[in-house]
Structure 1
Amino acid sequence: MRAAPVPTSPARPSGASASPPVSSRASPSRVADRSESVKRPIGVFDSGVGGLSILRALRAELPLEDFIYVADSGFAPYGERDDAFVIERAQRITRHLLGPNHLPIKTLVVACNTATAAAIALLRQGFPTLPIVGVEPALKPAVAVTHTRRIGVLATRGTLASQKFKALLSSLAGQAEFVCTPCDGLADAIERHDTAQIEALCAQYIRATGQFGIQNGEIDTLVLGCTHYPFAGDVFQSLVGPDVHLIDNGEPVARQTRRVLPHLAADANAGQVTLCATGDKTALAHACEHWLGWQLPVQSLTL
């Protein structure tokens, strides 16, 4: 069953590219393949509700597309699991999103920094015909905006310890100083909507990261390196002050997804969103309404 459209979906951005017309000389099979691809949804998954921040950016960039969002909340959090566990979950979810019980996805967005670091290379090897977009802490955008050349990075231990993150950090050596802080428990507090705990942990990790400001020697840019953390963005901004840049990866991921899509949806109606959870589906529904203002049903998923 197709989910109800998300309320107040934005129109296609001005100047956005439309699907190119199919040539009249195209073979029936090619026309059928393209038509099927246009109708297929985009799959998005995270360990819980954090990926909703990516889904929000995706819908703003691609308002006509259908999405299937899987919250693997029955096995969360990923940030404190070993790589083998995260890889197995990522592969299992991807196989599910490719069918056979529903229209298979045309593109996959791994909306989790930990899963991207641990599993995306193996996912691309295992599913070579599927365009796959991952997320990573937005260090490059942070380098582009910092003036003091000191950047704070908040992320899970799994992300900070990953070889993928270390390689990214190494590639930017000399361009800025990065102060990285693991944020144990913050993603879980955001999952629970525990406002008091969110505020306490945010304050603790900001203190641990250093002095924020726009003077020489101060940290003037803060990277929110977990997809959960944008939902605490207002708390972080109040702690570091209005002059400090907060950077997340929602918009870059959405733009990259547009670039890799095999075909854009052509339906003039707003796209549909289907929510699924391997854990408490009520928690995902509440998070979607609380963080995004969307009232949508959630399907239970056993994987």
Structure 2
Amino acid sequence: MPAAPAPTSPARPSGKNALPPVSSRASRSPVPEAARAKPPIGVFDSGVGGLSILKSLRAELPHEDFVYVADSGFAPYGERDEGFVVARARTITRHLLREPQLAIQALVIACNTATAAAIHLLRQDQPDLPIIGVEPALKPAIALSQTRRIGVMATRGTLNSQKFKALLAGLADQAQFICQPCDGLADAIERNDTAAINELGRQYTGAMGQFGTQAGDIDTLVLGCTHYPFASEQLQPLVGSGVRLVDNGEPVARQTRRMLARLSSDSAPGQCLLFSTGDPAILQTAARHWLGLGVPVKRLRI
């Protein structure tokens, strides 16, 4: 995955949707001393899919605290219009910055669709906040592919975004990319609907063409939505054991480490707070199953 650019400081957009910049922690609401000593990293996604990014972040930064927001009450983002996604991204960012118990030091947008729609606006809104996004791991896939035919599974919102189209155009001379919109797949993963995951996975991989390791085959498959790594066990048999599945969790975690102003000096394991705008039980079950996290999930009404 290409390294995310450092936050820039362009003129802040005007209008009611723009967020006031946070130039220092002193300008926020008062924060308890413990929170100031170890501010958490905020992570959000449209649902449980961003847990795949959180898993990599916790492995890379084991002593940092994290706050994860699953916007399940407004999911899926991939089938929403861009304005809706931008509004939700701004609402969540505002909450993570202004809530005294949170007061994040950095933000990871653990959603390809939200990154494509909103990251440039969030960086304008908050020029002093490190903001890390995700995008389909096309560059890592090129490094792995031998046949130079690479499949990309993603949401329709990601594939139709100008950000993704620019990324694709810049790499078009290095490989052939077969892009497949996967309507409903993220939602099926969100619901842990195994039958639907299998059926949709079969439908979408079948539409992409021949997978394999011979010349002309698709030998690398990019999982271009943070939900999709949690369907790897269902997708791998559909494409064959010789096909590499590539996601962006580890590159995002490394980029987050690079962008942090300072790392926690605490030797104790970091803690996680989990919030959901939808059914807390869905996130709690997913976090326990995929990350081994037994922490309670709080309902968030924003």
TM class by shorter-chain length? 0.7 to 0.9
CA deviations 1:34-64 (Å, max 9, x no partner) are x976510000000000000000000000000
| Correspondence 1:276-291 to 2 at 5 A | 276-291=275-290
Residue number in structure 2 paired with 1:241: 240
Partners of 2:238 and 2:37 in 1: how far apart?
44
Retained in 1: the 8 A contact 2:151–2:177? Answer: yes
Matches within 5 A, 1:219-258: 219-258=218-257
Kept after mapping to 2: 8 A contact 1:37/1:263: no
Separation (CA, whole Å) in 1 of partners of 2:136 and 2:210:
20
State the partner residue of 2:95: 96
The residue matched to 1:98 in structure 2 has which SS?
Answer: helix
Q: Give the direction of change, closer, same or farther, for the CA distance of 1:222–1:38 in structure 2 (3 Å limit).
A: farther
Q: How many angstroms apart in 2 are the aligned matches of 1:163 and 1:169? A: 10
Cα displacement (A) at 1:138: 0.2
Q: What secondary structure is seen at the aligned counterpart in 1 of 2:183?
A: coil
Return closer, same or farther for 1:168/1:38 CA change in 2, 3 Å cut-off: farther
Q: Does 1:115 align with 2:114?
A: yes
Give the letter for the 1:239 counterpart. L
Q: How do 1:153-302 and structure 2 match up within 5 A?
A: 153-302=152-301
CA contact (8 A) 1:214 1:244 kept: yes
CA contact (8 A) 2:35 2:101 kept: no
Q: Following TM superposition, by how much is the alpha carbon of 1:296 offset from its aligned partner in structure 2, in angstroms?
A: 1.5
**Which amino acid counterpart does residue 233 of structure 1 have in structure 2?**
S
Query: Do 2:109 and 2:131's aligned partners in 1 also have CA atoms closer than 8 Å?
Result: yes
Query: 2: CA distance between counterparts of 1:178 and 1:140?
Result: 11
Cα deviation for residue 292 of structure 1 reads 2.2
Quote the Cα distance in structure 1 between the aligned partners of 2:80 and 2:36: 35
Deviations 1:207-239 (A, max 9, x none): 011100010000000000000000001111111
Q: Distance in 1 between matches of 2:227 and 2:35?
A: 33
Inter-partner Cα distance in structure 2 for 1:109 and 1:239: 31
The 1-side partners of 2:301 and 2:36 are apart by 26
Which residue of structure 1 aligns with residue 10 of structure 2?
none
Query: 1:119 corresponds to which letter in structure 2?
Result: A
Distance in 1, Cα, partners of 2:112 & 2:125: 19
Take 1:258 and 1:82, find their aligned partners in 2: how far apart are those partners? 32
For residues 285 and 256 of structure 1, what CA distance do their matches in structure 2 show?
27
**RMSD of aligned alpha carbons:** 1.3
Q: Number of paired residues?
A: 270
Output the TM-score relative to the length of structure 2.
Answer: 0.87
* TM superposition score normalised by structure 1: 0.87
Equivalent-residue separation in structure 2 for 1:252 and 1:210 (angstroms)? 28
The alignment partner of 2:180 has SS state of: strand
Distance 1:45 1:256 in 2: 16
Q: Secondary structure at the match of 1:175?
A: coil
- Could you say what secondary structure the match of 2:98 adopts? coil
Return the offset for 1:294: 1.9
**1:98-146 superposed Cα distances (whole Å, 9 cap, x missing partner):** 1233241001000000000000000000000000000000000001110
Q: Is the 1:288–1:295 Cα contact (8 Å) retained in structure 2? A: yes
Question: Does the CA contact (< 8 Å) of 1:38 and 1:264 recur in 2?
Answer: no
Percent of pairs with identical residues: 67
Q: CA deviation at 1:241?
A: 1.3
CA distance, structure 2, for counterparts of residue 58 and residue 156 of structure 1: 23
Structure 2 runs not aligned, ≥5 long: 1-25, 27-33
Looking at structure 2, the residues matched to 270 and 75 of structure 1 have their Cα atoms a distance apart, in angstroms, of 32
**Structure 1 residues 120 and 293: CA distance shift in structure 2, 3 A:** same
| 1:274-297 Cα shifts (integer Å, max 9, x gaps) | 000011111110111122222110
- Asked whether the equivalents of residues 37 and 262 of structure 1 are also in contact (C-alpha less than 8 Å), the reply is no
Partner of 2:82: 83
